[in-house]
Structure 1
Amino acid sequence: MQLPRRCLLLLFLLYPFLLSGTWADLEEAFTLRLLQISTFQNTSFVDTEGLGLLEDIELGSLDKHTWKIHFHQPWVRPALPLSDWDMIENMIKIYLQKFNHMVNEGAMQKDVPYPFVVQCIAGCTLYPNKTSHAFARVAFNGQDFLTFCVDNATWLLSQDNELSRYVRDVLHKYTAFTELIQVLFNDTCIDDMEMLLHYGNVALARQELPVATVFARTPSPAQLLLVCRVTGFYPRSISVAWLQDGQEVPPGPAINTSAILPNADLTYQLRSVLAVAPRDGHSYACRVRHRSLGTRSLLIPWGSSELVLIAGLGAGLLAVVAMAAIMVLWLWRRRKHQQMEESGSRNSILSKEA
C-alpha cells in the first residue's frame, strides 16, 4: 500500500523526530506518536497537517479543512469505541483553536515575521515491564524549540532565546493545559495504545527480508570504498557490520553508516561504507542481521555481490540445487531413452521394407 503523497511528505519532514531509539528499544517497546505541522501564512490562515503513528504504521491523518480523522488502517476504528473517537476529534479541534490563537498572539507580541512553521510531536512509549514514558516536543522553523518534561510538568528550552523563553512562560501559565497533557499521555495514551496493539498485532508482526549488494568506489588511487547497500527490509531495526578475513571490523573512522531511511513502499534502506587500501590482501564481507532472518545472517562477500549467502541456509540451498540437478538429469535420460527407442523403431521398419 502506498502512502498518500501529503502524508509521506509529513513523514520526511518529521523524520528527525523519529530517529530516537536503539535496537533494543524498537525490539522491546512500542511507541504511539502524534505528529503535527502547522504553517502560519499570516494571522488569519494556518495550514495544519496531522498524522498518527504506532511505531511506523500510519494509523490516520487529519483532514486539513475539517480537522476530522481519516483512518488509514481497517483495524484502527474498531480498536476504540465510537464515543472515544468523537471525544478525540473534539479535543483535537479545541486544541488546534487554542494552539493557533496562542501562536499568533506570541508572533504579534514578539514581531515574528510570517510565514513560519511550527512542528510538534507528542505521544507515549510502552515498555514490556508495563512501565511507560510520555513525551512532547516542539520545533520552530525546523529547529528544536521546547521539550516537555513529564516528571515535573515543566517546559524546557531546547534553544535559549527571547521567543522560546516567552513561549515557555506562557505555557507554564496554562496550568490546566499542562495537567491535561499529563493525563492524556500518561494514562489515556497508554490505554488507547494497548487496544491498538491488540487490534493491529498482525500489521505490527509484518516482516520483509532485506536485500543487500556490495560494490566499490575509488575516490583516489590510494583508497577503495566498499559500499554495502541494504534495502527493502521491515521492521526498521537492523544491524549491519563489515567483516575482514571473517572478523568484525570495530567501529571507527574507516566505517561510515548512514541513518535508516524510509522507502515509499513502507520498507527501509541504509548504506554502510568501509574505507580500505586497494589490494591489501584481505577479504571483506558485509553482514546483515534482521528480525526477518531469525537467528541467521545475510553475508555478502566483496567481489561476489551477486551471491547472497544466508548462514544456516547453506544445507537447504544445496539440497534444492541437488534436487534440481537430479530432476534435470532424469529428464535428460528419459528423453534420450525415448529418442533411442524411436530411432530403433524407425530402423526396424526400414529393414522390413528392404
Structure 2
Amino acid sequence: MLFLKIPLLAVLLATGDNEDAFQEEISFKMIHSSSFYNNSWVKIQNSAWLGDLQTHGWDTNSGKIIFLYPWSKGNLSKEEIKDLEEFFRGFSIVMPQVIHRYASQWKFKYPFEIQITMGCELHPGGAIGSFYRFAYQGSELLHTQNNSLFPSPNGGTRAQDVYRLFNQNHANKKIVQKILSDTCPRLLLSILDAGKADLQRQVKPEAWLSIGSNPGPGRQMLVCHVSGLHPKPIWVKWMRGEHVQLGTQQSDILPNADGTWYLQVFLEVEATETSGLYCRVRHSSLGGQDILLYLKLPHNSMGWIILAVMVPLVLLTALAFCLRKRW
C-alpha cells in the first residue's frame, strides 16, 4: 500500500469564505459487507462514502455501480469504471465461496458478518494514505500498518490464517494495491473538486426544546432538538450562564431524507433546578451567531394555575366567614 504526496489542486484552494473547507482530514472508503446466514445463503452489499456522505451504491442484480450524485464519477474513464465493476462483481462472487470453504477451519459460526473496508484519506497538507481492513463479526482480522497489510494483533491464529490466504492470491492483491495507490487518490481529489458545491453546502439548523419522559419523582428530562443542518459537524450543549452542564448526553447524528442531519441533546435535572438553563447550538452555517434556546418550563404557568385555584378558595373562605358572622 503506497503513501502518496499529492498536491491539493484547486479544490483545496477554493475561493471565498470556503477556502478552508477541506483542510480537515477526509476519507473515501469502499465498503463491502456480506451476511452469511448459512452455508448457501449470503447477502452482499457494496457502497462507497466520502466522509459521512454516501456517494456510490451497488446494484446486486446488474453488478453495476450506482452514482448517487452527478459528480460521483469524478474523472474516472468509462474503462476504469468498467474495470471497477468487474472487480467488485467478481469479488462478490468469489469471496463468499472462499469464506464458505474456510469457514470451518477459521471457526466462523453461522450466521456471521464479514466487512471489508478499503480506501484512501486526504490529510491536511496534501498527504494521501491508503487503508484496508477485514473484519469478522465486527472484530478486525487484517489492517494496514506503515502502509502494508498485516494480521491484527488481537486476531489470534484466525487473523494469521486469513492473512496467509490473502497473500497467496497475488492477482487480487495486485488489483487492490492499484485501486488504493492510484484509482482511489485520483477519484478522491476529483470528486472533491467536482462536488464542492454540494460538499461545501451550508444549511442553517432549526432547534427547539421539549420535555422527555419522566425519569423519576421530582426530576425532568430536558431535550434540545436540532434538525436540518449541513455539514454534519455541530456543537450542542445544555448550559447555565457560561457553564456547560454536567450530565449532558447527545444522541447519534442521524441523516434526514434531504441529506441534512438531526440530533438530540438530553439533560436530566431536578425539577426545582431548571432556572437559567438554555440550549446552545454552534454550527458553521450560523456565521458565529449561536442559537440560544432558553428553557420555559410549565412552572411559570403552574404559578398561574395555583393562583387561579387559590383566589376562588380565598374568596370562598371570606364569603363563608362573612355569612357566618352575619348568621
**Any residues of structure 2 matched to 1:108-123 within 5 Å, and which?**
108-110=104-106, 112-123=108-119
- Cα displacement string for residues 75-105 of structure 1 (whole angstroms, at most 9, x for unaligned residues): 2336322122122122223333442232122
Deviation at 1:110, TM superposition (A): 4.1
Partners of 2:208 and 2:41 lie apart in 1 by 48
| Corresponding residue number in structure 2 for 1:168 | 163
Residue identity in the other structure for 1:153:
S
Inter-partner Cα distance in structure 2 for 1:255 and 1:290: 18
SS of match in other structure, 2:272:
coil
Aligned partner (choices 41, 48, 54) of residue 50 of structure 2: 54
Q: Which amino acid aligns with 1:215?
A: S
Change (3 A) 1:222 1:77: same
Equivalence for 1:198: 193
Q: Which residue of 2 aligns with 1:294?
A: 287
When residues 175 and 212 of structure 1 are mapped into structure 2, their CA distance, relative to the original with a 3 A threshold, is same
8 Å Cα contact 2:71/2:194 also seen in 1: yes
Give the alignment's TM-score, normalised by structure 1.
Answer: 0.69
Evaluate the alpha carbon distance shift between residue 191 and residue 120 of structure 1 in structure 2; reply closer, same or farther with a 3 A threshold.
same
CA shift for structure 1 position 194: 0.9
1:139 equivalent in alignment to 2:139: no
- The alignment partner of 1:160 has SS state of helix
Give secondary structure in 1 for the equivalent of 2:103: helix
Query: 1:136, CA displacement in angstroms?
Result: 2.4
Cα separation, 1, equivalents of 2:55 and 2:225 = 30
How far off its partner does 1:281 sit? 6.9
Q: Does 1:208 align with 2:203?
A: yes
Query: Which one has the bigger helix percentage?
Result: 1
Question: CA shift at 1:269, angstroms?
Answer: 1.6
**Greater Cα offset, 169-178 or 185-194:** 169-178
1:73, distance to aligned residue in structure 2 (A): 1.6
> Are 1:243 and 2:239 counterparts?
yes
Q: Distance in 2 between matches of 1:232 and 1:224?
A: 26
Q: Following TM superposition, by how much is the alpha carbon of 1:191 offset from its aligned partner in structure 2, in angstroms?
A: 1.2
Q: CA deviation at 1:41?
A: 4.3
Structure 2 match to 1:314: none
Which amino acid in structure 2 is aligned with residue 214 of structure 1?
L
Q: Output the CA distance in 1 between the equivalents of 2:147 and 2:51.
A: 26
Other-structure match for 2:313 = none
Choose the corresponding residue for 1:278, options 250, 260, 271.
271
CA separation of 1:93 and 1:107: change in aligned 2, threshold 3 A: same
Deviation at 1:274, TM superposition (A): 1.9
Q: Equivalents in 1 of 2:146, 2:34: separation in Å?
A: 27
SS at match of 2:226: strand
Confirm or deny: 8 A CA contact 1:242 1:274 kept in the other structure: yes
What residue ranges of structure 1 are gaps of 5+ in the alignment?
A: 1-23, 306-354
- Name the % identity: 28
CA distance in 1, matches of 2:21, 2:139: 23
- Give the 3 Å change call, closer, same or farther, for CA 189–303 of structure 1 in structure 2: same
How far the C-alpha of 1:131 sits from its partner, in A, is 1.0
Please state whether the residue corresponding to 2:155 is helix, strand or coil.
coil
Helix, strand or coil at the partner of 1:79: coil
Q: Quick check: 2:151–2:160 contact (8 Å CA) kept in 1?
A: no
8 A Cα contact 2:237 2:248, kept in partner: no
C-alpha deviations, 1:196-234, integer Å up to 9, x for none? 112111121222221111223442234332211212212
Separation in structure 2 between the aligned mates of residue 83 and residue 304 of structure 1, nearest angstrom: 62
**Distance in 2 between residues matched to 1:94 and 1:281, nearest whole Å:** 60
Q: Which runs of 5+ in 2 are unaligned?
A: 1-19, 299-327
User: Partner letter of residue 75 of structure 1?
Assistant: W
Counterpart residue type for residue 45 of structure 2: E
Shift of 1:242: 2.0
What is the alpha-carbon distance in structure 1 between the residues aligned to residue 170 and residue 57 of structure 2?
28
Q: Which has the higher contact order (CA 8 A, sep 6+)?
A: 2
Please list, as runs of the form range in 1=range in 2, the aligned pairs for 1:58-97 lying within 5 A after superposition: 58-77=54-73, 79-97=75-93
Deviations 1:228-263 (A, max 9, x none): 12122121111112221x21316x4x2222222223
Across the two proteins, how many residue pairs are aligned to each other? 278
Structure 1: distance between partners of 2:38 and 2:273: 62
Distance 2:292 2:23 in 1: 22
Q: Is the 8 A contact 2:113 2:136 kept in 1?
A: yes
Of 173-182 and 46-55, more deviation after overlay is shown by 173-182
Q: Which residue of 2 aligns with 1:327?
A: none
1:149 to partner: Cα distance: 1.4
Instruction: Determine if contact 2:208/2:224 at 8 Å carries over to the other structure.
Output: yes
Give the equivalent residue in structure 2 for 1:157.
152
